A and B are shown apart, each in its own frame.
Chain A
Amino acid sequence: MKAIQKQRPSDWIKVLPDGLFVEPGGFYVDPLRPVERAVITHGHSDHARPGHARVLGTPGTLAIMRQRLGEGAGAAQQALEYGETIRIGEVTVRLVPAGHVLGSAQVVMEHGGSRVVVSGDYKRRADPTCAPFEPVTCDVFVTEATFGLPVFRHPPDLGEVRKLLHSMALFPERSHVVGVYALGKCQRLICLLRQAGYDRPIYLHGALESICDLYRRFGIDLGETRPATVAAKDQLKGALVLGTPAAIADRWGRRLTDPVVAMASGWMRVRQRARQRGVELPLVISDHADWDELVRTLDEVAAPEVWVTHGREEALVHHCAGRGIKAKALALIGFEEDEA
């Protein structure tokens, strides 16, 4: 009897103009344009785009999509809990926590005797607002590389939060405005502040409120938050205000009297990047794996082949070559990296 030929993953997963296409399942993962069938890793707008006919994701991701995209969240939505298995066409699909934001998942796919994991965006450190990343051994690991350079080494979160609290103690009369990504970073920073003992109300820019409410519905305790937009100017003196990065850079941030402008992002590790954005207090808090964590994850999933979706792919591919791992950059365009 002839041995069954194991199918190579590159034969059944393809990079098409619309995104990563899983042929025997007839679906895309995080497609860039509206498609018939999409599996979505998480709710950030560059991964969860509007207009797909059928969408599969975790209940968290689907809720975020409904909140942000309304009608565009997918004509038919199908929820899949972490760990549950489903068959789509000839592919077995399972969603596993990615630790990136609420609902974020890695897509574990099996077909023709091989297993491919598309990790989406992920991080490795503890986050009180989402389930922690679970490494799954596989034949091909599809990874991001947002912080795929050895200069990116995120310091401990709590130290960064203490930096913020220290500055607030040092300048009690100045309001502190922190730029945060609306989905994930905002809620995680609030939880970290609460863990560090900050129990005063936190003021939120309008663009952040709805996602915070959604997190609460999923059982995440954020303590007291108040809308910043309607707050009297006096109330904001010495207060902590969170806004989107665009809002703090704009007039919205400037209407506060002499604010300390902070930003919570992995990019803040590079001084000149922080300076470019006019940030006075950079906080290196990221929802992506840093270099050491990317490297550790590759070791843990032990995949003989790695595909890099977006970010600093060259360096990670180089690293893999040194470890005898076959690696290539997928050259997927369309994934943003601005506020990571």
Chain B
Amino acid sequence: MKPFSELIDALVFMPSRNGKIRLLTDYFAHVPDPDRGWALAALTESLVFREAKPAAIRQLAATRVDPELFALSHDFVGDLAETVALIWPERPERANSQPPSITEVVEALQAAKRGQVMELVEGWLDTLDSSGRFALLKLITGSLRVGVSARLAKTALATWGGRDPNEIEECWHGLTPPYLDLFAWLEGRAERPAAGHGAGFRPLMLSQALEEEDMPALNPDDYSAEWKWDGIRVQLVAKGGERRIYSRTGDDVSGAFPDLTDHMVFDAVLDGELLVAREGEVAPFNDLQQRLNRKAVTARMLQDYPAWVRLYDILFDGEEDLRGLPLTERRARLERWYEAVRPRRMDLSEIVPFAGWEELKALREGARENAIEGLMLKRRDSLYVAGRPKGPWFKWKRGALTLDTVMMYAQRGHGKRSSFYSDYTFGVWRDGEGGQELVPVGKAYSGFTDAELAELDRWVRNHTVRKYGPVREVSAGLVLEVAFDSVHPSTRHKSGLAMRFPRVHRIRWDKPAAEADRLETVRRMVVG
């Protein structure tokens, strides 16, 4: 556990991406199999231990620490694993109980019978130091939060092995921890593992944001335009009877969308936007949100929020890899494929014809349909390449809307912002029974710098009127100018409205709260 906990600690404190890659490459180079493979599995969130749930860990801590003190500590620290790691009573060193290795931990947990897990964990916590306890708890709860994405871990792995990260992505889905074949290949001891059998994920091609000053340099004739739909970018893979839906980052979300996988009766890899649509009419993102992050899908949900995919691109038709063809040819293949297969619950993303940038700009401004985020510009000759190359694809979002709102509640953040009040619920004025009152319209936790966060945190602490656990109610005194992409009717919020992508645009220290916007103004912004 020692090398792993040292790695986790170092990663937590390493601010730079390159520094993190250096720490990871160093770890992969010096730690033997299978320990390094299990660490990689932890970093890519490929390990799941069903019984090691936060509630069980909290319960275990309660056997050693006063529950009230534990709750206060947890609220302050903001992270369960860290709280337990710090608060767990130190035991005098015992010569005969060695801390376990990461492999011992993983193997013991995998072999453990129901009900034995927490007993094992308790024993390990007693032999580890505070760093070791932290790493252990992070490992078993399956979410490290050390500022390393699965992609960064793979990039480090590729750097160490002298390969392209996308080569690893290509075969990743065919691999299982502790990845002995992968390490063997990267050390030049074996061939590259076969690309994921059947329904593996292929890394997506992503776009750059279009800056207005880039436009004059671009020739409109080189680009074709499509609407940018406000859903979730997905990859549909149907191969040899296997059907998978992957998110942009390669997470398998198939389980939540049986209404789509049921109709994936074809052999292809497609790129598209996951939406909720009723009879071809795209519903606001809020509706799609009802379907996301669900483990179980009810019949009711399938009926109320039917899933739909708007197809952008085709990567494989049967065994044929089309990624090396230019966009125009891929589009022709996509249309042909669509005509032949006629898949249910899917349609083609429409091509938006335009003569020049001015015309396109007008189209973009005119598009106020809820589910349209803006436009996509794709070079007609662009090949389908993994990653986010600059030039071939641009996203051109429509301008954001803004409102002056009043901060109402603040909540402590997580990760790097734990112990700072960084999540703000904001509201606007309406006529209440006893005069003007604030009604919440949204929540924002981004759009400010670390320095501004420190100021906001101080403001919250000095203007708290009530505390509810980690949430503080503040006096109506600070105006937050929030930006958002659109606003929709919603039954989940008191105001009857929900915002899409709200973020703090400016902190209006200067503006009196009474001059913030009113609910009627927000209602007028609802479109569609």
Instruction: List residues of chain A with CB under 8 Å of any chain B CB.
Output: 149-153, 269-276, 278-282, 312, 314-315, 318-319, 322, 333
Contact = CB atoms under 8 A, between A and B. Distances in A.
The 8 closest A-B CB pairs, nearest first, are A151-B86, A272-B418, A315-B72, A151-B73, A149-B73, A275-B416, A151-B87, A271-B12
A152 B87 CA distance: 8
A333 B463 CA distance: 12
Contacts of A269: 86
Given A150-B65, A278-B15, A280-B14, A271 B73 contact: no
B417 A280 contact: no
Interface string B168-179: 000000000000
A275 B13 contact: yes
A149 B76 CA distance: 9
Interface stretch (B77-85, B109-117, B209-217): B77-85
Contact of A314 (B72, B82, B83): B72
Given A274-B13, A275-B15, A280-B13, 5 more contacts: A270-B419, A273-B418, A276-B420, A281-B13, A282-B13
Contacts of A280: 13-15
B82 A272 contact: yes
B415 interface: yes
B65 A270 contact: no
Interface in B64-114: 65-66, 68-70, 72-73, 76-79, 82-83, 86-87, 90
B222 to A, nearest CB: 41
Instruction: Place the interface of chain B in its size category.
Output: 20 to 34
A271 B13 contact: yes
B134 A271 contact: yes
B191 interface: no
Nearest to A281: B13
Contacts of A276: 416-420, 450
A115 B2 CA distance: 51
A16 B79 CA distance: 37
Contacts of B9: 271
A318 B419 contact: no
A151 B147 CA distance: 23
A195 to B, nearest CB: 24
6 contacts: A150-B65, A153-B86, A269-B86, A270-B419, A273-B419, A312-B76
A66 B420 CA distance: 35
Contacts of B14: 280
A257 B463 CA distance: 41
A333 B147 CA distance: 35
B420 A150 contact: no
Interface of B: 9, 12-15, 65-66, 68-70, 72-73, 76-79, 82-83, 86-87, 90, 134, 147, 415-420, 450, 462
A151 B12 CA distance: 18
Nearest to B145: A272
A283 to B, nearest CB: 11
Contacts of A278: 15
B86 A318 contact: no
A315 B77 contact: no
B418 A150 contact: no
Nearest to A267: B419
B7 to A, nearest CB: 14
A174 to B, nearest CB: 12
Nearest to A333: B462
Given A272-B415, A282-B13, A318 B79 contact: no
A271 B133 CA distance: 13
Contacts of A272: 12, 77-79, 82, 415-419
A279 B75 CA distance: 22
A153 B416 CA distance: 21
Nearest to A250: B451
B77 to A, nearest CB: 6
Contacts of B77: 151, 270, 272
Contacts of A149: 69, 72-73, 76
Contacts of B69: 149-150, 315, 318-319
A272 B79 CA distance: 9
B72 A318 contact: yes
By CB atoms of chain A within 10 A, which of B14, B82, B86 has the most?
A: B86
A151 B79 CA distance: 12
Contacts of B87: 150-151
B82 A271 contact: yes
A314 B87 CA distance: 17
Contacts of A152: 86
A280 B19 CA distance: 10
Contacts of A312: 72, 76
A333 B462 CA distance: 9
A322 B416 CA distance: 33
Contacts of A319: 66, 69
Contacts of A282: 13
Contacts of A333: 462
Contacts of B417: 272, 276
Nearest to A270: B77
Contacts of B78: 272
A319 B416 CA distance: 29
Nearest to B70: A150
Contacts of A275: 12-13, 15, 147, 416
Contacts of B90: 153
B482 to A, nearest CB: 23
A322 B66 contact: yes
A270 B82 contact: yes
A274 B90 CA distance: 22
A327 B384 CA distance: 68
Contacts of B66: 150, 318-319, 322
A315 to B, nearest CB: 5
B83 A151 contact: yes
Nearest to B131: A271
A282 B73 CA distance: 20
Contacts of A281: 13
A318 B68 contact: yes
Contacts of A273: 418-419
A338 B272 CA distance: 49
A26 to B, nearest CB: 30
A113 to B, nearest CB: 35
Nearest to A276: B416
